[in-house]
Amino acid sequence: MVVGKPLLTVQQIQKRVAELAEEISRDYEGKEIIAIGILKGAFMFFSDIVRLIQIHTDIDFLNVSSYSKTESSGEIKIHSGLREEIKGRHVLLVEDIIDTGITIEHIKNMLLAKGPASLRICCLLDKKARRKADVRIDYKGFEIPDKYIVGYGLDYENKFRNLPYIATLKNNI
Ligand code: 5GP
């Protein structure tokens, strides 16, 4: 597999991330939030967005996987859970990409059971065409076509996560 054409450049990503951070800061003005990054894919988006959010933000992570190569296995594995208490707190879930929506819906329900004051979802990329679970996305970066993409935290077999931009992946054979 090789990296194909850039789908989103560094500049496009930076601009949109700043806009999302501004919207979040405005919506939660006067409140404190706990931002939860979904690892591994959201690590870059998470670190970029939290440093631009202008309100008090605690952080935590969930390490989750559901993909084998380029297809969702449908089976969600939680490799490590939250370290912070979320009961009564405003939770902002930060995800890299929502595809079928099954992963985020599963995580959302799991966290709602812990009794947060509120829970919103922020994701950088939305592959709407493949949606199976009807999950509401409160803050969305970009809608993208149904193509497998890598970079800016997203991988193919754990590779390409460190690309600073987002690109399609193509078979080089
Ligand atoms: P869903 O449960 O919504 O189908 O899948 C969500 C997860 O699948 C994301 O968190 C991400 O890890 C992975 N995923 C979905 N589409 C892509 C893609 O195009 N590229 C990469 N690298 N991962 C994807």
Q: Which of 42-56, 78-92, 97-111, 159-173 is predicted most confidently?
A: 42-56
The predicted model scores a pTM of 0.93
pLDDT level of residue 76 (50, 70, 90 thresholds): confident
Q: What is the mean pLDDT of residues 67-82?
A: 71
Q: Is the CB of 137 under 6 A from ligand 1?
A: no
Q: What is the mean pLDDT of residues 95-120?
A: 95
Q: What is the mean pLDDT of residues 52-66?
A: 94
Range of the domain at 112: 2-25+32-170
Q: Is the CB of 65 under 6 A from ligand 1?
A: no
pLDDT at 80: 77
pLDDT at 143: 97
pLDDT at 38: 96
CB 141 within 8 A of CB 124: yes
The closest residue, in CA terms, to atom 20 on ligand 1 is: 149
Tell me, yes or no, if 99 is annotated catalytic: yes
**How many Å lie between the centroid of ligand 1 and the Cα of residue 10?**
20
CB 93 within 8 A of CB 121: yes
Q: In whole angstroms, what is the distance from residue 51 CA to residue 32 CA? A: 14
Q: Is the CB of 98 under 6 A from ligand 1?
A: yes
CATH of the domain at 76: 3.40.50.2020
Q: How many other CB atoms are found less than 10 A from the CB of residue 76?
A: 16
Q: List, for residues 125-171, the tens digit of each pLDDT value.
A: 999 998 999 999 999 999 999 999 999 999 999 999 999 999 998 87
Q: List, for residues 11-52, the tens digit of each pLDDT value.
A: 999 999 999 999 999 999 999 999 999 999 999 999 999 999
Side by side, which strands form the sheet with 166-170? 2-8, 166-170, 149-150
Domain tally, the chain: 1
For 166, the 3-state DSSP assignment is: strand
Q: Does pLDDT of 67 surpass 70? A: no
Q: Does pLDDT of 78 surpass 90? A: no
Q: Does pLDDT of 173 surpass 60? A: no
pLDDT at 2: 85
CA 124 to chain centre: 6
**How many Å lie between the centroid of ligand 1 and the Cα of residue 103?**
9
pLDDT at 170: 81
